[in-house]
Structures are given as structure tokens and as C-alpha cells.
């Protein structure tokens, strides 16, 4: 994968064609690429940059996450044009194949954990701990000294969660999740992270500590009752994470945080 960096405001397909013709000396038709919005994440190396593209050098390993929508070229391509403000350096020593698998889930995890304000010793529940985002949250939270409980739906998924630091693994097919959480955190959870598309606010509110935080990141078409009483009497803020809605400076901040974890080798993908 080659990243062709350019400044904002350029037409992506036009810029791509100009750079390919200039740098490779090939007609655009001979270069394998998809100009449509297919593919979101990439890890690659900088091949060239357009007018105004700055901050990178040819051959530098880089990554991006916000391609493939809002008119930006998708990443299912040999060459991709990326706005330089949305391109980030890949830390030295980071495995490119491992990194590309955790970009979106890792960005979601660092953004949500920062907003949730967790500290060492706090309690976190991840509903859906073996999924991509759940796994990323689990690994980063444990690295920060947070006590983590998760749900898992099979022995294999439970084993994966335990191997990556989960303090409590709940088999939701066989156990009462609420009862297990009350035993895990008798005074209530500090953070409830809903990593599935089926948020149950009544269940969530019933296991929260006062001033706990609830993180929501999925369930576009989901609807559920909203129990107002426990929500306001426990002062329970809802934190919503949508990476696609983050501003450029917010993405850059999250990327710096994610790069720190990638450099330390703290994130593994669950395939």
C-alpha cells in the first residue's frame, strides 16, 4: 500500500491521477486502484505528495483510518491519496499487519477511555469483550490498572478475554450478568461500556455506581426504554463515541495516543 499525501481541498481523484502520471510515468488506467469509497483503514508507505502536502518523507511508514467516506478515496487500492492532515506516522517497530487490524477499534478505545476518565483501580464492564473494540478496550484498560469484567459467549472467547487480562469473564448464556457484576463491583461500576448493538439501559443503570459513566458506540437502529429515575438520581452521563464525527484535531490527538500504545505493542487484534 502506498500513500500519496496531499493538502486538503484537492479533488482526490484528480490529485491521484496527477501524482500517478507525474511520479510513476504510467497512464492512470494501468495502475490498480479503486477510486470509489471502498475500504477505510490503511497502513503503507509514503510514495509522493501533492502541492501543500507536508510532514512526511518518501518511504516513511504511515497509517490512516478515515478514508472511504465523505468523498475520500477508499483504501482497497495499490495507491491511495490521503489528506496530510488525516495521515499519521506508524511508530518504529510496530507490526504493519497487526496495526492495520486495530486502527479503528484502537481509536475508538482510546477516545472512549479518555472521555470516561478511568483511573487505576476503577471498575469497567465491557458488554462484548471479545469483539474488536471490546478487545482493544480490555487491553488498554488493563494496561492502565483498571479492573475489567467482560461478557463472552463461548469458551474460546472467554479464554481469549482471560488471556488478555480480564478479571471477570461472564458467560451470558449461563449466568446472570447483573448478578455477576454486583459481585464483581459491590458498590457499582465506574464505567459500563456497551460494545454490542443491543444496549439495555435498565440493565446498565441497575449496576452503576453514582457518577458512573456509560459508553455507547453502536446500535444505529436500536431502540430501548430510558429509565429516567436512576439516570438522574445516580448522575449517570452517557458518552457516545463516533469516530467518523470527530474533528481533525480530535483525530490527531487520538492518533497520538494510539501510536503510544502501538509503539509499546499493547494491542492485539482478535480475528
Average pLDDT of the segment spanning 216-236:
89
In order of 12, 66, 170, 213, the CA distances from 70 in angstroms are 11, 9, 39, 31
Residue 136: pLDDT above 90?
yes
Q: Inform me whether the pLDDT recorded for 58 exceeds 80.
A: yes
Q: How many CA atoms lie within 13 A of 151 on its CB side?
A: 19
Q: Checking DSSP bridges between strand 61-64 and strand 42-49, what pairing results, if any?
A: antiparallel
Is 80 exceeded by the pLDDT of residue 269? yes
> Taking Cα atoms as reference points, which of 111, 48, 91, 119 lies closest to residue 254?
111
* 198: phi then psi, degrees, rounded to nearest 5: -125, 60
Tell me if 102 sits within 8 A of 267, measured CB to CB.
yes
State yes or no: pLDDT of 25 exceeds 70: no
User: Which pLDDT value is given to residue 29?
Assistant: 55
- Give the distance, in angstroms, between the CA of residue 104 and the centroid of all CA atoms in the same chain: 4
Q: Give residue 74's pLDDT.
A: 87
Within 10 angstroms of residue 54's Cβ, the number of other Cβ atoms is 9
Would the pLDDT of 53 be above 90?
A: no
Say if CB 149 and CB 168 are below 8 A apart. yes
pLDDT score recorded for residue 14? 43
Instruction: Among 48-57, 148-157, 260-269, name the most confident range.
Output: 148-157
pLDDT at 17 over 90: no
What is the value of pTM for the model shown?
A: 0.85
Beta carbons of 78 and 1 less than 8 angstroms apart: yes
What is the number of H-type helices and E-type strands within the chain?
8, 11
Please identify which residue in the block is written with the cell numbers 492502565: 144
Amino acid at each position: 500500500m502506498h500513500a500519496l499525501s496531499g493538502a486538503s481541498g484537492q479533488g482526490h481523484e484528480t490529485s491521484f491521477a496527477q501524482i500517478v502520471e507525474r511520479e510513476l510515468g504510467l497512464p492512470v488506467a494501468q495502475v490498480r486502484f479503486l477510486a470509489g469509497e471502498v475500504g477505510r483503514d490503511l497502513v503503507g508507505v509514503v510514495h509522493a505528495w501533492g502541492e501543500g502536502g507536508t510532514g512526511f518523507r518518501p518511504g516513511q511508514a504511515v497509517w490512516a483510518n478515515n478514508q472511504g467516506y465523505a468523498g475520500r478515496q477508499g483504501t482497497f487500492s495499490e495507491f491511495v491519496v490521503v489528506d496530510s492532515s488525516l495521515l499519521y506516522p506508524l511508530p518504529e517497530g510496530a507490526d504493519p499487519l497487526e496495526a492495520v487490524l486495530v486502527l479503528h477499534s484502537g481509536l475508538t478505545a482510546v477516545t472512549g477511555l479518555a472521555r470516561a476518565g478511568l483511573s487505576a483501580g476503577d471498575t469497567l464492564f465491557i458488554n462484548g469483550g471479545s469483539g474488536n473494540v471490546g478487545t482493544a478496550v480490555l487491553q488498554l484498560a488493563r494496561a492502565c490498572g483498571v479492573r475489567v469484567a467482560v461478557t463472552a459467549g463461548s469458551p474460546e472467547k472467554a479464554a481469549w478475554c482471560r488471556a488478555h487480562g480480564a478479571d471477570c469473564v461472564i458467560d451470558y448464556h449461563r449466568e446472570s450478568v447483573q448478578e455477576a457484576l454486583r459481585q464483581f463491583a459491590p458498590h457499582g461500576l465506574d464505567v459500563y461500556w456497551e460494545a454490542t448493538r443491543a444496549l439495555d439501559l435498565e440493565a446498565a443503570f441497575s449496576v452503576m455506581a453514582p457518577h458512573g459513566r456509560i459508553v455507547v458506540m453502536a446500535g444505529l437502529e436500536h431502540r430501548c426504554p430510558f429509565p429516567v429515575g436512576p439516570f438522574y438520581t445516580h448522575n449517570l452521563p452517557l458518552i457516545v463515541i463516533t469516530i467518523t464525527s470527530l474533528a481533525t484535531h480530535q483525530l490527531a490527538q487520538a492518533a497520538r495516543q494510539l501510536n503510544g500504545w502501538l509503539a509499546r505493542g499493547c494491542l492485539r487484534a482478535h480475528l
